[in-house]
Structure 1
Amino acid sequence: MVSDDPTDAFSRRRFLITGSAATTVALAGCIGGGDDGNGDSGGNGDSASQNGDASENGDGGDNGGAGDNGGSSENGGDDGDEGATTGDDSETFEVGHGEYRTTISREDFPDDQLVAYAVQTGWSNWGSVMEAFEAEYGIALDDNQGSSGEKLRDARANAQNPQASIFNGGYSFAIQAMNDGLTTDYKPKGWDKVPDELKTDNGHCTATRRMTTAVTYRRDVYDERGLDAPETWEDLKHPDIAQDLAFTPPHTANGLASALSVNRAYGGGMDNVDPLIEYHEAIAEHGADFRRNIEGDVTGGEISTVVEYDYSGLNMKYNVDELDEEQIDVAIVTGPNGEDGAMNVPYGYAPLANAPNPEAAKLFMDFVLELDTQALFFDAFVRPIRASELDAPDQFPDQSAYDAAQFAIDTEQLVANQENVIAEIQDRTPLPGAQ
């Protein structure tokens, strides 16, 4: 039985990746494509508080009682106290929110694996979510490595014969998939707890978590070089930082968010990336580049500074055995004069139309929004969409840093422009590795 009380026997810490070898593998997958391990970018909504208050994540409400195997009741909402009727293949589960409430049977479960695009080990703590889901329902998930952009291309290529059941990735990419006619409607249990601007009224797309662009750096190396902690994007132009500074490629959500963060910090917009290109020109001469599998390069000492999400740096600092906590730090930076410089990016999912295993997909989508599962994201410093109902880890940078730097881009604006922006950056940037 899965409860909506994250402190019960379904211990979220039980599923957090532990051990040096396992974590190294996870980090390697993170950039290999991640959902976005360097995945692509989700845009979106308001620039809300990053420490899980109600302004970011909607109304919290009290934590309601648990349902049976069909998942938990969603904090006393209209999904009720639903559960499962047991009996081998005849076992049934109540799923869905509101008009989407329905009963599914274990007979509907896949014989092999459930495929959800970009649900993969090494990114957003999906590995722990996958393990918990299989432990609860006996359904294994495919370790679907890749970025949001890559998976959107896959979904388009397989539109007539879908290979996956769920599109998962940057929220704006889910919206693109919907606009392409690739998705269908389903409102998972817990849908009412998601902020209105981070879900579509038609039930096609729902955000599940969010992250903010940050600078992760080797504090021990900075100390050896006599460098101060970075506070603005201008600081990264210093030759002793830029010599081994890395960004993730712009076709990933992670990389696009980083690019748009720099561009915004220097006065650019979706219709003007000149400030970003000028910034790249300034750091390229000292050795900065784009690369994937960055975490391994950081822990191995090949690079000392990487621009990714806060999640990536904090997870590396606190959940990776290769380095001591004191060797890694994470900074939320502004523009040179205090301008916004840290894009907040939502990620989410959408059920694919005419896809295999639609009933098991509903069960998984419900599972991801349960509080126990949302807490698993927090274990890796990914902010769950229901963060206001959970206790955030104390290790995040101070809220004042987020307040000073964070911004968001309207989803519709991002969806309308992101493919052109990515293409222009790839065409114009002097940094190697943009493709």
Structure 2
Amino acid sequence: MTIARFAAALIALSLFAAAPAAKAADVICYNCPPQWADWASMLKAIKTDLGYDIPFDNKNSGQALSQLLAEKSNPVADIGYFGVNFGMKAKAQGVTQPYKPQHWNEVPAGLKDADGEWTAIHSGTLGLFVNVDALGGKPVPACWKDLLKPDYKGMVGYLDPPSAAVGYVGAVAVNLALGGSDADFSPAIGFFKALHGNDAIVPKQTSYARVVSGEIPILFDYDFNAYRAKYTEKGKFAFVIPCEGSVVFPYVVSLTKGAPNAEKAKKVIDYLLSDKGQAIWTNAYLRPARPIELPEAVKSKFLPDADYARAKSVDWAKMEAGQKAFTDRYLAEVR
């Protein structure tokens, strides 16, 4: 090597060594995706008000729990965000720790773990998120059973029930609406068999963009995603609470056991339940966990109360207990 080349190499090495490292995240939250529940706006507000960087994370509830279990001996995440059934599983499998955030006492008893290992931050109502333009002139379906008609062949999607919380919530909603119970999932199994015969689409990940693009014209999803599309996207979108009925489902956060940044994570969880944090959720068409009235400007964009009367609160502890039996049947008989 010539002296000139050696000198150039030294300069390059010194520049590399002096280059600033990428800024590390202040808090890691598993399953905080920007296109779901408008986590994008929430994490931006946390950065503004608390100064913490929290990267987007596109896992679903099941994937987040699987990752927490894989890292149990060397935790990476500080916070887990789950559908309540997966929050219960996370506690049972020892990857969460107790934390009762500010305003914890204002969260109704059914929306929090008595020990503080999970606490609801908001809820959504399960129904049909419809890209009306993508229906090609067909009517917007009004009922679960409408989806089995040949008109909607290849048009209906639902997230994979064994993997995603919203997938299992959809199964519970259909099952109860069609006469099943937490001990009898036969109506849901029969429905999904028939839906697969109508070429159902079954993604594993959040599929908001696929509905907006028209790739999935009808998706089992929550009201907050459908309203977001209706009021912010180009095109015509609708939300339907099926005529047979549906369910309301809470989403929860947990402080992970052995969280590397536990003190910062606690402040983030406090923020999610603060007045400002709860207001941000309402702006994203979510029902806050604390008993806060929706602003009139937001409520006016929801379906009428008469429609929401068809959506019931259920005992999610019982539904969580029955999830394995449903999943086993679903895998054996449907998928």
What's 1:163 paired with? 76
1:333 counterpart (238, 242, 249) = 242
Q: How far apart in 2 are the matches of 1:165 and 1:112?
A: 11
Assess if the C-alpha contact under 8 Å between 1:117 and 1:164 holds in 2.
Answer: yes
Could you list the per-position Cα deviations for residues 292-336 of structure 1 after superposition, in whole angstroms to 9, with x for gaps in the alignment?
45333322233322111111211111122xx23xx111110132x
1:399 counterpart (291, 305, 318) = 305
What's 2:193 paired with? 281
Q: How does 1:111-260 map to 2 (within 5 A)?
A: 112-222=25-135, 224-225=137-138, 227=139, 229-250=140-161, 251-260=163-172
Q: What is the SS of the residue equivalent to 1:217?
A: strand
Assess if the C-alpha contact under 8 Å between 1:242 and 1:287 holds in 2.
Answer: yes
What's 1:261 paired with? 173
Q: How far apart in 2 are the matches of 1:390 and 1:381?
A: 9
Assess if the C-alpha contact under 8 Å between 2:154 and 2:200 holds in 1.
Answer: yes
Assess if the C-alpha contact under 8 Å between 2:107 and 2:291 holds in 1.
Answer: no
What is the CA-CA distance between 1:183 and the residue it aligns to? 1.7
The one-letter amino acid paired with 2:308 is Y
Assess if the C-alpha contact under 8 Å between 2:154 and 2:201 holds in 1.
Answer: no
Assess if the C-alpha contact under 8 Å between 1:218 and 1:328 holds in 2.
Answer: yes
1:427–1:319: structure 2 CA closer, same or farther, 3 Å change rule? farther
What is the CA-CA distance between 1:132 and the residue it aligns to? 0.8
Assess if the C-alpha contact under 8 Å between 1:241 and 1:304 holds in 2.
Answer: no
Q: How far apart in 2 are the matches of 1:412 and 1:283?
A: 27
What is the CA-CA distance between 1:271 and the residue it aligns to? 2.8
Assess if the C-alpha contact under 8 Å between 1:371 and 1:386 holds in 2.
Answer: no
What's 2:16 paired with? none
The one-letter amino acid paired with 1:407 is K
Q: How far apart in 2 are the matches of 1:349 and 1:296?
A: 25
The one-letter amino acid paired with 1:245 is V
Deviates more, 1:382-391 or 1:306-315: 382-391
1:372 counterpart (276, 281, 290) = 276
Q: TM-score, normalised by structure 2?
A: 0.86
Assess if the C-alpha contact under 8 Å between 1:247 and 1:290 holds in 2.
Answer: yes
Assess if the C-alpha contact under 8 Å between 2:36 and 2:206 holds in 1.
Answer: no
The one-letter amino acid paired with 1:232 is C
How many pairs does the alignment contain?
A: 309
What's 1:66 paired with? none
1:352 counterpart (256, 277, 285) = 256
Q: How far apart in 2 are the matches of 1:377 and 1:333?
A: 24
What's 2:17 paired with? none
The one-letter amino acid paired with 1:329 is A
Assess if the C-alpha contact under 8 Å between 2:246 and 2:312 holds in 1.
Answer: yes
Assess if the C-alpha contact under 8 Å between 1:207 and 1:385 holds in 2.
Answer: yes
Could you list the per-position Cα deviations for residues 240-276 of structure 1 after superposition, in whole angstroms to 9, with x for gaps in the alignment?
1233111111121111111111111211223322212
Identity value in percent: 27
1:423 counterpart (325, 328, 331) = 328
**Poorly superposed stretches of 4+, deviation over 4 Å:** none
Could you list the per-position Cα deviations for residues 121-171 of structure 1 after superposition, in whole angstroms to 9, with x for gaps in the alignment?
111111111111111122101222201111111111211111111221112
Q: How big is the alpha-carbon RMSD for the aligned residues of Structure 1 and Structure 2? A: 2.0
Structure 1 position 290 matched with structure 2 position 235: no
Looking at secondary structure, tell me which structure has more helix per residue: 2
1:272 counterpart (153, 167, 184) = 184
Which structure has the larger Rg over C-alpha atoms?
A: 2
What's 1:78 paired with? none
Structure 1 unpaired stretches of 5+:
1-109, 336-340, 431-435
What is the CA-CA distance between 1:111 and the residue it aligns to? 5.8
What is the CA-CA distance between 1:288 and the residue it aligns to? 2.1
Assess if the C-alpha contact under 8 Å between 1:159 and 1:182 holds in 2.
Answer: yes
Q: How far apart in 2 are the matches of 1:135 and 1:278?
A: 49
1:306–1:111: structure 2 CA closer, same or farther, 3 Å change rule? closer
Q: TM-score, normalised by structure 1?
A: 0.67
Q: How far apart in 2 are the matches of 1:167 and 1:262?
A: 27
